[in-house]
Amino acid sequence: MAIACRLVTSPHELDAVADKWADLVADSQTNYPTCAPQWQLPWWRVLAPRQQRELFVLCVESKQGLLGFAPFTRRRVRYHRSMRVNRLELFGCGDDEADMVCSCYASILARRGHEEDVAEALGEYLSQSKDWDELSIPEAANHDRVGPMLEQELRTRGLHTRMTSPGSTYAIDLPGSWDEYVKSLSKKGRRLVRRSARDFQSWAGDSETLRHADKPDELAEAYYVLRDLNRERWADVAHGAVKSDAFDRFHLEMLPRLGERGAARISWLEGQGKPLAALYMIIWNKRCYAYQAGRSVSAPKELRPGIVLHGYAIRDAIERGENAYDMLCGSSRYKMELGATPRPLIGFHAWKPSLRVHLCIVADEALAFMRGIKRRRRERDRCTEPTTDAQ
């Protein structure tokens, strides 16, 4: 079977392949919303221009059609003064902190049964190309097959490569009923779920109201409810908050696309006449992703409206027949109390055998190591604190 790798560098060409791209996502082992055009095209249009990125999308094709899709961008990255390299990164990855959309699971796509063919074709093309110096795939799913295969292909062709363990996401495998779910929790988890619901209902009384938005024309207004609560919760903390207008524009363009296929939902919990907690979810391939949350800090301290809202969302996901409730990255204590377990991510990096590039990578790794230590300390501190971040 003749397989060819085609480079896409224009937005028109990218739009032309969008339908085949969407079909490929559904027929791949990495069927995640962050790999789909509904997520990645808005990112390209809204956020990529702020970072001076260029399209470097590789389509692996045969007479059977599109077999693989590597949605890379290319940009010049400065490591130290005049030391610059051309870096390839997947759509949605490598954003500046203020714009970071957290594209967990972003991966190279391959049609089922053709992972090896795709990795070989990409390896051959990339090893011969002179248009890049460094390649980065930071947070792919642990069961992604193409990344490790491509790493081996490039290493065999003389390039420097490295697989990494960047951390974990946290997810709950959902049983068949709410009662089974509660029964599966630890004693502390059951107490947290039941007491949080009881305390909130006692305080709110008849004013307790749970609202949902899942239609394209409803999601924009609901997003602002979520955004305002998120900013209120994280006003004094550097991480976690919605931080830029571009971030808002990305979601306001992306949400209607997900809403058209019934894949987006924003829920919020009201008490005493005002929103107290909100949750932004993506429903995709029998999984519910709890993408972002926010809560009011004005509620009485003993209340946990965020935990109550997660409970409602988990119950709804079970009733819809979802297989998992994915709480994504971050090892917050409340996730484990709600029954989530870690799912390791994998990272893949490659670079050309050049002394200049090698020196840049070594320097960057040292900085990344120090940043990783700070991040792990921060997550450890959040893990050992009382359950407040989702309250």
Residue ranges and CATH numbers for the domains of the chain are 4-168+346-383 (3.40.630), 175-322 (3.40.630.30)
Average pLDDT over residues 368-376: 67
Query: Could you give the 3-state DSSP secondary structure of residue 102?
Result: coil
* Average pLDDT of the segment spanning 314-334: 95
For residues 310 and 210, what is the distance between their CA atoms, to the nearest angstrom?
A: 12
The yes-or-no verdict on residue 19 having pLDDT over 80 is yes
Q: How far apart are the first and last CA of the chain?
A: 55
Q: How far apart are CA 202 and CA 224, in angstroms?
A: 28
Least confident of 97-101, 134-138, 173-177: 97-101
Strands 65-80 and 54-62: antiparallel
pLDDT digits (tens, 9 = 90+) for 334-361: 999 999 999 999 999 999 987 666 666 6
Average pLDDT over residues 297-305: 92
Contact 276, 293 (CB under 8 A): no
Please tell me which residue, 390 or 98, carries the higher pLDDT value: 98
Lookup: tokens for 97: 């902190």
Q: What is the mean pLDDT of residues 76-90?
A: 83
**Quick one: pLDDT band at residue 378, thresholds 50, 70, 90?**
low
| Confidence at residue 390, expressed as pLDDT on a 0 to 100 scale | 61
Tokens coding 339: 């029954």
Phi, psi of 291 (to 5 degrees): -75, -45
106 vs 169: CA distance, rounded Å: 13
Question: Which pLDDT value is given to residue 371?
Answer: 65
pLDDT of 323 reads 97
Between residues 312 and 388, which one has the greater pLDDT? Answer: 312
Give the mean model confidence (pLDDT) for residues 304-309. Answer: 97
Res 237 pLDDT > 80 = no
**315 touches 286 (CB < 8 A):** no
Return the structure tokens found at 303. 């209340």
Token pair of 186 as six digits: 């630890």
**Using CA atoms, how far apart are residues 367 and 328, in angstroms rounded to an integer?**
25
User: What is the per-residue pLDDT for 383?
Assistant: 46
Contact 96, 51 (CB under 8 A): yes
Q: Residues 20-70: pLDDT tens digits? A: 999 999 999 999 999 999 999 999 999 999 989 999 999 999 999 999 999
Tell me what the mean pLDDT of segment 327-332 comes to. 89
Q: Which residue has the tokens 């979810």?
A: 281
What are the φ/ψ torsions at residue 254 (nearest 5 degrees)?
Answer: -80, -40
Give the global pTM: 0.89
